[in-house]
Structures are given as structure tokens and as C-alpha cells.
Amino acid sequence: MKVLILAEQCNPEWPSLPIVGYKAAVEISKLIDVVVVTHIRNKENIDKYGLGNAEVIFIDNEYIARPIYKLANFIRGDEGAWTTAMAFNYPSYLAFEWEVLKELGVRIKSGEFDVVHRLTPMSPTLPSMIASKIDVPFVLGPLNGGLKWPKEFESERHSEREWLAPIRKIYKVLPYSRSTLKRTAAILAGFQHTIDDMPETMANKIINFPEVGIDPSLFNASENKCEQGKKTILFASRLVPYKLPDVVLDAFINSNVLQQHELLIVGDGPLRGEMESKVKAYKLENVVQFLGWKTQKEVSEYMQKSHIFAYPTIRELGAGALVEAMACKMACVVVDYGASASLIDEHRGVKLALQDKQGITNQLTRQLELLVNNPERIYELSERAYEHVMKYYSWAEKAKKTVDVYKWVLGQAEKPRFWN
């Protein structure tokens, strides 16, 4: 079997989707014959680390990507406005696929590839031109999107400059949108919110397949965390409104119980200055530490030393940090909404009801107080979380399931299930 993987975003040193695309492609290349096509911007880091056993082809569409990127940043700023960013990415991505066809069209038509798989980008709002121009099975995803902003957080939506979110579904009438779904043999959908965003007529093509994964050599924990004494609570993500890092801080401000323990905040963003001022105002400098941006290795080290992962984000599409925390045997506290809710159940974490900001703050305060006073409960939750992600979410295991998808679209196997 030989597969052509389209991974426009694929970079071993860039967080979020680029590293997801890279890790997935590397592990797939260890199992089958793979050609990976990616953007020229990734060349320096891929040349440094390699890309498993894959042949790698770099595509240069900077003639359109660079000016559009500059225009998008001018309009949306440095943070937020994700829906706007996706809208601007549309012409750039079409240009990427056009260059792929120019570079590889002859090889595709010759029958060299059994399957073409668009691995990244993962947004359902970016259709594929190639899907309608090839005669081999086309696999799309994992896709992730379609999660609505909670009505309780309209002010956060405006803070994130998500002005286009209410009209997001306009992507369904873009050129190539319908043909992409029609010609796709398998649609990998990350979570239920993405499945719900798909037309019902696509149900037989959809496989629930989360895009997040873990590298067990990096994110792991050999010791249990059942000891008595001072506990470390960790928040690790961008300090932006919808992640609610200020809610985690407010839980400590409101609780004398929690102030006997420690809060570590890994990450940076526009809320940091305001949060640091609060810490000074309430004289919590000996309780709360702001650690800024850290490498993946550094994040894993903090997770391995911490006991509780406080992650109350209210619009989490993928929750990569959450599965990493679970792999490091942390008791995780999340809001019952989006990807976080799909990854956690009552046996491997704590869910907070989706309420307004004050309601979530009150719940988080109470649940953290219960956990710091119950090390046995921390142990139970963290052990089951660890077992779950190690069984299903390692990149190697996910690569095996991806190959199962290829076999299915080629008629060589039954339709796979992610949680078999």
C-alpha cells in the first residue's frame, strides 16, 4: 500500500496543528509506504529532524500565502479571530493544492498511490480541490470544528474578536465544499461537535477519530500521586479569555484552603498582565507562579510533578494539553463542553457544569478543595486517565487505526472504530 499524505501544516517544533500533523505522519510512515506533501515553511525543521520513513515534497505557494497572511494579521491582530483566520486561509490552501497537482498530478494519475489522505489542515471550513480531481479513494481528516460559542460567554466571544462565528456555516457554499464531501471515501471527525456539523447524508462515511495524541516517551508518569501534603495545581495553555485561566486564579483568591497549596500557570497571552496584578493585589506571590511559554519537554516535566490539571476552557476543539496531562497521571478538572467533555468521564476526571463565569468559578473552587483534601481520589482519577490515553491515544496506536481506515476504503477490511 502506498499513500499520498497532504499535510500543509506539519512541523516538529510548532505547537498545535503543525506538530499534530508531523507526529501523525511520522508514525504512519513507519507502517506503510508514504509520500508527505507539506509547505515550504516547514522545510528547515523537517530537514533537522527528518520525517520517519516518508518521502517528503515541499510546496511553495508563498506568492499568495505571504500577502494573505499579512493582510489577515493586520485585520485580526496577533491573537483571536480564529474564524476570520480560516476565512483568509481558504485561497492560500487552494493555491497549495493547485501546486500539489502541478507537482504530483502525473504520479497520481499513473496509479502510484492507493489512497490520498488530507491530514492537515483539520478545519471543515477548508474544502479540498484535489478530492474532485482524482480517481483513488480520498480520506479527509481528522477534522475538528463546529463547536458553538456558549451563550453564557458572548463577552468572551467578542474579546476573541470572533465576529464571523455566527455566519461560519457560509463555508458550506464555498467552491469545492460539496464536491469534497461527495468524493471523500472516509471522513475522520474529531469529536461529536464536528460529527453534528456534517450533513446527515455523510453518516456512513464518518469515523469518530480524535486528532489529539501523545508521545509516551515525553508525556508519562511512573509514580503515583497519592501522597499527603501540599498539592500542585497546574494550568497550561494560552492566557486568553475562552480558556478561563482567570477563573483558575479566582478559585485560589476565593479559597483559604487552596492557598495552602500551589498554582503553576504555564503559558502566555493577553490576560497575563491583569492576572499578575491580581496576584500582587491579593499578596499571593508565594502561592501562584507565572512560568510563561515552555517547550513540550518542559511542560511534560511540570505535568509529571503536578497533581491536578485545572482546565476550565469553554470552547476546546481538540484538548491536546488535556490528553498530555492525563498521560502524566494528573487528576483533571474540566468544563462539560466540547472536546474536554468527550475525553473525561466520572472515572477519569471531574466535570463542571457549563454555567456562566461565576458559576464555573464556584464549582471549580469547590472541586479543587475536595481534591486537595483527598489524595486517594487524585490517585484513582489519575490512574484511570493514564490507562485510557495510553491505550488509545499514543501516536503509534493512532497510526495503526489510520492504516485500518485506508484498508477500509480499499475494501480490504470492515469499517474501523477508534475505541476498539
Domain spans in the chain, listed from the N-terminal domain onward: 2-213+394-409, 232-392
Q: Give the 3-state secondary structure percentages of the chain, helix then strand then coil, rounded to 5.
A: 50, 15, 35
CA–CA dist 263, 288 (Å, integer): 5
CA–CA dist 379, 393 (Å, integer): 20
DSSP assignment of 320-347: HHHHHHHHTT-EEEEESSHHHHHH--TT
Nearest 5°: the CA angle 50, 55, 61 is 90
- pLDDT attached to residue 415: 96
- pLDDT attached to residue 72: 64
Which residue in the block uniquely carries the three cell numbers 480560516? 86
Per-residue pLDDT of the chain (420 residues; tens, 9 = 90+): 999 999 999 999 998 889 999 999 999 999 999 999 999 999 999 999 999 999 999 999 988 878 877 766 666 565 555 555 666 678 888 999 999 999 999 999 999 999 999 999 988 888 999 999 999 999 999 998 877 878 887 777 666 655 555 545 665 667 788 899 999 999 999 888 899 888 899 999 999 999 999 999 999 987 766 677 899 999 999 999 999 999 999 999 999 999 999 999 999 999 999 999 999 999 999 999 999 999 999 999 999 999 999 999 998 888 999 999 999 999 999 999 999 999 999 999 999 999 999 999 999 999 999 999 999 999 999 999 999 999 999 999 999 999 999 999 999 999 999 875
- pLDDT attached to residue 175: 79
Q: Decide which of 3.30.1490.100, 3.40.50.300, 3.40.50.2000, 2.40.33.10 is the CATH code for 2-213+394-409.
A: 3.40.50.2000
Do the domains 2-213+394-409 and 232-392 sit in the same CATH topology, yes or no?
yes
CA–CA dist 57, 72 (Å, integer): 27
pTM: 0.90
DSSP letter, residue 286: T
Q: What are the residues whose beta carbons fall under 8 Å from the beta carbon of 222, sequence distance 6 or more?
A: none
State the amino acid at position 40 in one-letter form.
I
Cell numbers at 109, concatenated = 494519475
Task: List the one residue out of 378, 336, 340 whose CA is nearest residue 359.
Answer: 336
- pLDDT attached to residue 82: 56
CA–CA dist 365, 373 (Å, integer): 13
Neighbours of 360 (CB within 10 A): 22
Exposure class string for 191-229: b at 16+ Cβ within 10 A, else e: bebbbebbeeeeeebbbbbbbbbbbeeebbbeeebeeee
CA–CA dist 202, 184 (Å, integer): 9
Residues β-bridged to residue 236: 266
Q: Which CATH architecture has domain 232-392?
A: 3-Layer(aba) Sandwich (3.40)
Q: What are the residues whose beta carbons fall under 8 Å from the beta carbon of 20, sequence distance 6 or more?
A: 120, 122, 211, 212, 213, 318, 320
- pLDDT attached to residue 63: 86
Exposure class string for 142-178: b at 16+ Cβ within 10 A, else e: bbbbbbebbeebeebbebbbbebbeebeebeeeebbe
